[in-house]
Amino acid sequence: MAEDKSKKPKIDLKARLGKTNMGTQAVPLPVPGGSQPPPSGAGATSPAKATGIAPPPGISPGIPVPPFAQPKAAQAEAPAPKPTAVQQTIKVEVGEEIIKERAQAKKRLIAAAAGTAVLGLIIGYPVGKQAEKSARGTAVVENAKGLMADVKAANEKMKELETILGEAAENLGKKQYPSDLAAKLGAINIPFDSTKVEGSRISGLNAQALRQLLKFTSGVEELNEKKDSLKNLLDAAKAPVEKAWKEEKEPVMSFSVLFRSDQKGVVAELVPNKEPFAQGADWPANFTVLKPERTQQGIKSVEKKANRYTKGDLPGGGDPMAIPVDPTTTAVFTSQEIVFKLRKAFVDMREELKGNHDNPTNEIPGLIEIGDGLLTTVQKVTQGGG
């Protein structure tokens, strides 16, 4: 180890420094802030005065002059102090706090708005449904009230019609023809038909009310048709009915039976007498009948002289033989049929109005009764009873 240290080459610093100084020209360093005052004892101006002090030999001109060798520079205006790291940190932290707070406030605002919207939907749905239900309920009540008014008006007219028919039926029973009945029937119309129950008019009615309404509507329409038919019948029935009432007191022979030969035997024909004769008077020996015959233009009535049959073989030769027919058996072909039809029309119409309660086990309600029941049922709808 000792040998190694002794053998280590020695460095000649002076020689190195001198060599370096000779190979490098010294460059005066500028002195910041102005010229360097001359060293004490130097009377003449030297290059150092203008350019500063040259560095000692061996020191590179790139190394700055020590601070103690520099003159004090004129005091320049001090710049604004830079914020410290703590201040910058606080400033950044405060900015981030505000941004975060604003972001959180925005989120809270959005969440509150969304919550309000959802709450509005949750509350608004049943409220909207309730409002819709309330509006629909109001419409149902108004429709029911309108329906009640129509049914009531129809019932009042039917009661008026029933009164008129009752008076006319009483006159018919007395064999007094109701000549003014046709005009009265023409002036009455039951103001109810299927147009009264279209669309929303029947909304809100229960099954029972709908059945009553259907029966009432169809019954009123049929009643109006029967009323018009009765009016037309009355216009044409007066003369035949009055004739029939007269013949009830004094029956007449209106029909006779004729006999004629046919390939298969004797054939009878029912023919009307041209001039009917009284049943209680003497019967004529011969009279004129209206015999139907087939022609090219069709069947037409031809007047034929007929001998009233009294005895002998049938048929005889010459004029046809005729036998008068009992009027009670031919009432269907006479004015009596008009009376029967008229009476039946009165009975049927009054039963339509008042019903038939003769059989307690099978009572038939009339339209007036059905209308009263319908009014009661519909009134419950207007009172919220459904």
175/220 same-domain check? yes
Of residues 101 and 168, more confidence is placed in 168
Structural domain boundaries, residue 233: 85-252+334-386
pTM for the whole structure: 0.53
Q: Which residues pair with 33 in a beta bridge?
A: none
Q: Is the pLDDT of residue 14 over 80?
A: no
Alpha helix ranges (H) inside 250-334:
none
Q: What is the β-pairing status of strands 364-365 and 355-356?
A: antiparallel
pLDDT of residue 13: 52
Q: Quote the CA–CA distance of 95 and 122 in Å, as a whole number.
A: 40
324/359 same-domain check? no
Q: Quote the CA–CA distance of 234 and 148 in Å, as a whole number.
A: 34
359 in a domain, yes or no?
yes
218/345 same-domain check? yes
Confidence label for 285 from pLDDT (cuts 50, 70 and 90): very high
345/233 same-domain check? yes
Domain stop point among 333, 352, 369: 333
344/327 same-domain check? no
238/279 same-domain check? no
49 in a domain, yes or no?
no
200/340 same-domain check? yes
Percent of the chain past pLDDT 70, that is, above it, reads 61
222/147 same-domain check? yes
Model confidence pLDDT, tens digit, residues 152-205: 999 999 999 999 999 998 888 888 999 899 999 999 999 998 888 776 667 777
Q: Quote the CA–CA distance of 335 and 297 in Å, as a whole number.
A: 29
Question: Is the preceding omega at residue 64 within 30 degrees of 0, hence cis?
Answer: no
122 in a domain, yes or no?
yes
- Using alpha carbons, list the distances in angstroms from residue 183 to 157, 187, 232: 16, 6, 10
Arithmetic mean of pLDDT, 140-150: 84
176/232 same-domain check? yes
Q: What token pair was written down for 246?
A: 């007269």
Taking a C-beta distance cutoff of 8 angstroms, is the pair 305, 328 a contact? no
25 in a domain, yes or no?
no
194/237 same-domain check? yes
Domains identified in the chain, total number = 2
